[in-house]
Amino acid sequence: MSRHCVVQKYGGSSVASAELISRVAKRIAATRRERDRVVVVVSAMGDSTDELLALAQKVNPAAPSREMDQLLATGETTTAPLMAMALERLGVRAISLTGLQAGIRTSSTHRSARIVDIVPQRIIDELEAGRVVVVAGFQGATEDLDITTLGRGGSDTTAVALAVELEAERCEIYTDVAGVYTADPRVEPRARPIPEIAYAEMLEFAAVGAKVMHPRAVEIGETYEMPIVVRSTFGDGPGTLICKHPAMEDRQKIRGIAHDSGVAKVILTRVPDRPGIAATVFGAIGAAGINVDIIVQNVSHDGLTDLSFTIAEEDLARARPVLDEVARKVGATEIVADTAIATVSVVGTAFLGTPGMFARIFRALSARQINVEQITTSQIHVTVVIARDRVAEAVQALHAEFELEQD
Amino acid sequence: MSRHCVVQKYGGSSVASAELISRVAKRIAATRRERDRVVVVVSAMGDSTDELLALAQKVNPAAPSREMDQLLATGETTTAPLMAMALERLGVRAISLTGLQAGIRTSSTHRSARIVDIVPQRIIDELEAGRVVVVAGFQGATEDLDITTLGRGGSDTTAVALAVELEAERCEIYTDVAGVYTADPRVEPRARPIPEIAYAEMLEFAAVGAKVMHPRAVEIGETYEMPIVVRSTFGDGPGTLICKHPAMEDRQKIRGIAHDSGVAKVILTRVPDRPGIAATVFGAIGAAGINVDIIVQNVSHDGLTDLSFTIAEEDLARARPVLDEVARKVGATEIVADTAIATVSVVGTAFLGTPGMFARIFRALSARQINVEQITTSQIHVTVVIARDRVAEAVQALHAEFELEQD
């Protein structure tokens, strides 16, 4: 397709009512005056997905995932024609397409399907006919025309994948914040939007709790080098550009502080310290579809060790039966779950070859008597596990330590 | 397919909440124990279609009909997976299909598409795999995979068409009343469900105001001689069987009294009484998609006549500009619209060769000083136009006259 093609994605809070949909339509109409080809991806309106989940929970708390997908996809399928109507009212020719109609072919793993192919002919035909194409995000279809959903961050994934397929100039993610912030502004009022950030940094950011974009969508962007802009739906700011090479002066920096209070620490106590134990434990948890984040295995005493790891707190109930089974199998004495914890992460390429960074993190936290329970690192992030009630203090301390309030 | 296949349709009030869906699922589960193959057609939950219409009205009061269909179809698409989940919870294997997935191919006349073909392979495969198939009613898709809706009574049409395609034993229409009544029970408390009624009588009944089933679905039933049963979702009564030949003792009777208070009378005054005038008037109204019911042309005086007809009251606003245009074209002096009227109809094959019937109707009404403004008849009905505020009295008078309270 052309350099004059752009894909825009609008999240649930941006399309939560008829009034907001009409406001977003004006923004799209302005874009259409500047671009030949505009594709819009929309999420479900406000909390409509939660309402569908509540309905499903009432009729069947263990509903088949295929039926959940048929149900949940209706959220985005409702927004898309409303947006097309709102555009038509402004004199902008528009058409809505479901994931199936848009040619988004996925695997058959319901609730977290992967896009395997996009057959873009219908979209291209409509764009060439001069229409804005509004695609229902978060959804696709299998070869058998079964509806699938793409899991968390699904609409972002739809948008970036379409941008890649259509060779768009860039993919714009519109949301209720002004971009990717140096920290959560609700926790650190001095936080500010980051102008440019590398895909790898953004991936770490998303992985350690920054909710603004889902890692999967960033991954696709990185693979195909599709520039992604995150910006405010109703503001005028430039937002954050996620790209391969941020401008020179923006490199080798600490980008920001992320935190996640929705985690739980699980400890299996007095596990025999034998090869293969960890594989048994994490194999079973992974098979249940539960992601494990930070793993710590204590020093062995008498051939016994404590195995500790974090999972999302919302997965804890689902993890319990799996953990009971696993504990029995590996002979653990006890399972302890601690939800009074949180993670705080420092993200940025500055960690590459800058040994003093770790010391600064610990110094900033210890100066406030914040105890670090666990720690994990990669080349571009450090994550510490601390008490949940100290999160705001820790974020503020680290934000100040790395002078992130300054441009 | 087989004699052991049944198609059941549940209307919006029967599936208005998670609780009701779960109750309906129990009824379906009971049916499944008796039948090899069960197909269920569901409507949108309660007033959810009205909510979608209100949303559309807000973003664009003149929304493109293609987009309206994409939007409105989500109502039924939401109910279907919820019903499948509810069945699975009861241990009944089930799968939901949208109209598109169910192979319901339609014309591209959005808002009132016609079913042109059903490709039933997916349904047959699922039935053979032992599943109850829950199909979203009211909707289909064009060859281009655009979503269409079937207009009023669309879910009934889906159900009867599927029953025909699958050679089902019968099609059961579940609703919030116990069947087709001899009169509206809210107006005539002595009304009772009619055990059996011929397709032709049911068509007249539906055409003159009985809301229980849409004429299009009855027409399909008549064409393919598919027995249709209308009965209560949560009651145990046998309901009404609509078939080709009702049992002998049920023939040649007055079936019931229908009424319609949602009509308006339009009079074009002092129209030149020339050939072709009526064609001009009703051609223009028909082209606007407005149905005309009762037409009366008064005796001509001085080459001028009054042309009077009834339309649905809800079509009146839409009809105004068309009527203004038509009145100018044919030289009518004035357009008078009267919404203080209603129709009351007596339906039954008894009119065939029973000349005394008309006299009984007029006698019953005049005995109560109810004035008949207009009248129209066919072989199986008589419809009178009367003052709207006399409707209940007229229905009761005629119900008593023909002794319909008796079995």
Nearest to A101 among B85, B95, B145 (CB): B145
Which ipTM was obtained for this model? 0.85
Decide if pLDDT at A15 tops 90.
yes
Which of the two residues, A207 and A287, has the higher pLDDT score?
A: A287
Summarised one tens digit per residue, pLDDT across range A115-167 is 999 999 999 999 999 999 999 999 999 999 999 999 888 999 999 999 999 99
Cα dihedral B73, A119, A220, A180 sign: negative
- Quick one: pLDDT at residue B1? 47
Alpha carbons B99 and A306: distance in angstroms, whole number:
55
CB contact under 8 A, B96 and A70: yes
Half-sphere exposure of residue A399: CA atoms within 13 angstroms, side-chain side: 23
User: For residue B147, how many other CB atoms are within 10 A of its CB?
Assistant: 30
CATH 3.40.1160.10 in chain B, residues?
5-176
Q: Provide residues of A within 8 Å CB-CB of chain B.
A: 18-19, 21-22, 25, 52, 55-56, 58-60, 62-64, 66-68, 70-71, 74, 77-78, 80-86, 88-89, 95-96, 98, 100-101, 122, 144-147
Q: Three-class SS of residue A260?
A: strand
In the predicted model, is pLDDT for residue B376 greater than 70?
yes
Average pLDDT over residues B173-191: 92
CB contact under 8 A, A77 and B55: no
- Phi, psi (deg, nearest 5) at residue B182: -65, -20
At residue A286 the predicted structure's pLDDT band, cuts being 50, 70 and 90, is confident
> CATH number of the domain at B5-176, please?
3.40.1160.10
What does the pLDDT look like over A328-381, one tens digit per residue? Answer: 988 888 999 999 999 999 998 776 666 778 888 989 999 999 998 888 887 788
Amino acid at A348: G
Between B1 and A326, the higher pLDDT residue: A326
| C-beta of residue A217 within 8 angstroms of C-beta of residue A115 | no
Calculate mean pLDDT across residues B49-62.
96
CB A70 within 8 A of CB B100: no
Residue B352: pLDDT band (50, 70, 90) is low
Is the separation of the CB atoms in A190 and A399 below 8 Å?
A: yes
Q: Which residue of B has its CA nearest to A20?
A: B59
Residues of A in contact with B71 (CB under 8 A): 78, 81-82, 85
Q: B26 to chain A: which residues are within 8 Å by CB? A: none
Lookup: tokens for A398: 């680290």
The string of pLDDT tens digits covering residues B25-46 is 999 999 999 999 999 999 999 9
With a CB cutoff of 8 Å and minimum separation 6, the contacts of B403 are none
Q: Which residue has the tokens 């696993």?
A: A326
pLDDT surpasses 60 at B249: no
Residue A365: per-residue pLDDT: 94
- Interface probe with B: pick from A26, A78, A111, A123, most Cβ of B within 10 Å: A78
| Interface mutation target, options B48, B59, B135, chain A, most CBs of A under 10 Å | B59
| B84–A58 C-beta distance less than 8 A | no
Q: What is the CATH number of domain B341-401?
A: 3.30.2130.10
Encode pLDDT of A54-108 as tens digits. 999 999 999 999 999 999 999 999 999 999 999 999 999 999 999 999 999 999 9
- The minimal CB distance from A86 to the residues B22, B59, B82 is found for B59
Tokens 């109707």 correspond to: B361
How many other CB atoms sit within 10 Å of the CB of residue B363? 11
b/e code B182-207 from CB counts within 10 Å (16+ = b): bbbeebbeebbbbbbbbbbbbbbbbb
Question: Are A70 and B80 inside 8 Å of each other by CB?
Answer: yes
- The answer to whether the CB atoms of A63 and B88 lie below 8 A apart is yes
On chain B, the residues whose CB falls within 8 A of the CB of A89 are 59-60, 62-63
Asked if B100's CB is within 8 angstroms of A82's CB, the reply is: no
Taking an 8 Å cut-off on Cβ atoms, the answer to whether A88 and B60 are in contact is yes
Instruction: Collect all residues of chain A within an 8 Å Cβ-Cβ radius of residue B142.
Output: none
Q: How many CB pairs under 8 A join A and B?
A: 117
Q: What is the mean pLDDT of chain A?
A: 91
DSSP A345-383: EEE-GGGTT-THHHHHHHHHHHTTT----EEEEETTEEE
C-alpha separations of B307 from A190, B279, B371 in Å? 76, 12, 20
Domain with CATH 3.30.2130.10 in chain B: 264-338, 341-401
Q: Please, are residues A340 and A263 in contact by the beta-carbon 8 Å criterion?
A: no
Q: How many CB atoms lie within 10 A of CB B359?
A: 9
Q: A57 to chain B: nearest residue by CA?
A: B18
- Per-residue DSSP letters for A162-221? HHHHTT-SEEEEEESSSS-BSS-TTT-TT--B-SEEEHHHHHHHHHTT-TTS-HHHHHHH
Contact assignment for B70 to A77 by CB distance below 8 Å: yes
Q: What is the pLDDT of residues B139-151, one digit of tens each?
A: 999 999 999 999 8
Residue pair A260/A203 in contact (Cβ under 8 Å)? The answer is no
> Any idea which residue has 């079509």 for tokens?
B315
Beta bridge partners of B305: B271
pLDDT at res. B56: 97
Cross-chain residue pair B96–A67, CB shorter than 8 Å: yes
Per-residue tokens: A376: 């994990």
Cβ contacts of A18 on chain B, cutoff 8 Å: 55, 58-59
pTM assigned to the model = 0.86
pLDDT category at A1 given cuts 50, 70, 90 is very low
Smallest CA–CA distance from A21 into chain B, residue: B59
Q: What is the pLDDT of residue A251?
A: 58
pLDDT value, residue A250: 58
What DSSP element (H or E) covers B281?
helix B277-287
Instruction: Please give the residue of chain A at the shortest CA–CA distance from B72.
Output: A78
Q: Using a CB-CB distance cutoff of 8 angstroms, which residues of chain A are in contact with residue B141?
A: none
Q: Which CATH class is domain B264-338?
A: alpha beta
Q: In A, which residues are within 8 Å of B147 by CB distance?
A: 98
CA distance A22 to chain B (A): 6
Most B CBs within 10 A among A17, A28, A55, hence the mutation to make, goes to: A55
Residue of A nearest to B15 (CA): A59
